[in-house]
Structure 1
């Protein structure tokens, strides 16, 4: 049986109304983003998950999964099981071992507080057209997983 996170990933590209109808999010849980540099809509009712929606169509486009906090941060963490292959990833080496070479990699730049990161095509059984980005802490264990549509028109 699929868990809530796997069902959310499977439904990237769906509308907010569809997610409500499927029982994946609560009605009236969507709100304007609190970040100054974006006009997206979001839902943060599940601890450790942030769901991002396109503002005009309310299309579900991105999931942020917070596994660990940076030292100066104390946000809620996601504690439920991750679907395969995400549950197999416990450090950067394991990520590349399980997922292959990344489409894009960036090394950490501690001076500018930029984390090391890798981006992959998401496993097809989770979503046919999504990317998977991992942002690592200084110990190269994943802090945040970001799953996004590859093409916003999907």
Structure 2
């Protein structure tokens, strides 16, 4: 008798949990690639946009530090985002050498919401879990990632 698809064993050396975590990572990467393609953004531009959205008024130096790129690289990146009219560059009132960056598109509305859609869907699924079950899963994942980061 053939096992049902619910009881298929993972390949030797790979646990069901490992397979699920790998599938999650691949699904998240694929969703991010599709969203960036739809919005005509490269990965660095998308990461910068999300960072600026989470840190309104950030300076280009903060973006540079967050992304680990050169000053020239961040200047080019910010110029691209400003030219696309997704970010605004404002001069500091006290120091005109300083710029502050602000996202000027609504990342919660189409098409920009695609950047967060996968994570928003996962968050909805997590909130539907029993809180104890979600806590146990979080502890397992934290333990796994702490072990992997050594």
TM-score relative to the length of structure 2: 0.28
Higher helix share: 2
Higher strand share: 1
Task: Give the number of the structure whose alpha-carbon radius of gyration is greater.
Answer: 2
TM-score relative to the length of structure 1: 0.28
